[in-house]
């Protein structure tokens, strides 16, 4: 069984759900020592280290467990390390930076068995069957995720100003697949 923790975005903001969110990184693992892979491919590479340091501080502030972190450099690094780690966190950012990795990440689904996958915003989109990006110009494009979960996902829902349009876009494309909406700072845990 894989545990999926999907977050609606804005992990850097001081939102009520974010403290609980960062606590989940270690609470969802039934071990006293937790190994976490951090993936920031949805951001410019020159920002990865700075954002990782911020997130590491937030994770450590919300646990008493011993935690080991590794900042994932590329697909080969991820696939080589995932077997020895408990958690994979894919942070939010820009679709045009993360989506080019999708084709090479198809083997990841099998490697996530008995692991925790945490995705915020773009990371949640990646795990979904399909999605519409929150800040995608006119928002008229349905994107395909890796399909780890059988949901269509909409993040930053509380800030969305085209709710009905985006719901209809996803429903028209696949009216049998449920749509999950997540506000910023909101998260859901799914066991599959």
Full-model pTM? 0.95
Is pLDDT above 70 for 138? no
Closest CA to 102 of 80, 123, 84: 123
Share of the chain above pLDDT 70, in %: 97
Give the angle subtended at the CA of 44 by the CAs of 48 and 79, to the nearest 5°.
60
Residue 141: per-residue pLDDT:
84
3-state secondary structure of 173: helix
Options 3.40.50.300, 3.40.50.880, 3.20.20.60, 3.30.70.3270; CATH for 3-191 is 3.40.50.880
Separation CA 5–CA 61 (nearest Å): 19
Phi and psi dihedrals of 44, rounded to 5?
-60, 135
What is the pLDDT, as a whole number, of residue 120?
A: 98
Residue 157 has pLDDT above 80, yes or no: yes
Spatial distance between the Cα atoms of 40 and 64, rounded to a whole number of angstroms = 25
- Give 173's pLDDT tier (boundaries 50, 70, 90): confident
Domain positions in the chain are 3-191
> In this structure, are strands 116-120 and 3-7 parallel, antiparallel, or unpaired?
parallel
Q: What is the mean pLDDT of residues 91-113?
A: 95
In the chain, % of residues over pLDDT 90: 83
Binning pLDDT at 50, 70 and 90, where does residue 154 land?
very high
Mean pLDDT of the region 116-132: 96
Q: Residue 84 has what pLDDT? A: 98
Which tens digits make up the pLDDT trace of 1-59?
A: 999 999 999 999 988 899 999 999 999 999 999 999 999 999 999 999 999 999 999 99
Does the pLDDT at position 139 exceed 80?
no
Asked whether residue 85 carries a pLDDT value surpassing 70, the answer given is yes
Secondary structure (DSSP) of 1-51: --EEEEE-S-TTS--HHHHHHHHHHHHTS-SSEEEEEEE-TTS-GGGHHHH
> Residue 136: which pLDDT band, with cuts at 50, 70 and 90?
low
User: Which is nearest to 12 in space by CA: 64, 50, 45?
Assistant: 50
In this predicted structure, what is the pLDDT of residue 102?
97
Q: How confident is the model at residue 78 (pLDDT cuts 50, 70, 90)?
A: very high
The token duo for 29 is 């693992």
Nearest-angstrom CA–CA distance, 98 and 90:
10
What is residue 136's three-state secondary structure?
Answer: coil
């Amino acid at each position: 069984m894989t545990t999926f923790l999907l977050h609606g975005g804005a992990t850097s903001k001081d939102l009520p759900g974010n403290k609980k969110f960062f606590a989940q990184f270690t609470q969802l693992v039934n071990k006293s020592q937790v190994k976490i892979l951090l993936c920031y491919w949805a951001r410019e590479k020159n920002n990865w280290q700075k954002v990782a340091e911020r997130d590491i501080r937030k994770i450590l502030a919300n646990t008493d467990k011993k935690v080991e972190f590794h900042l994932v450099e590329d697909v080969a690094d991820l696939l080589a390390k995932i077997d020895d780690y408990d958690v994979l966190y894919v942070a939010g950012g820009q679709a045009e930076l993360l989506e080019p990795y999708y084709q090479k990440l198809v083997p990841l689904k099998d490697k996530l068995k008995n692991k925790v996958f945490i995705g915020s915003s773009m990371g949640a989109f990646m795990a979904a069957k399909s999605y519409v990006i929150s800040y995608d110009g006119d928002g008229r494009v349905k994107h395909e995720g890796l399909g780890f979960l059988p949901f269509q996902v909409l993040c930053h829902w509380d800030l969305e100003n085209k709710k009905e349009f985006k719901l209809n876009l996803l429903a028209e494309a696949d009216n049998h697949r449920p749509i999950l909406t997540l506000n910023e700072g909101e998260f859901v845990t799914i066991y599959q």
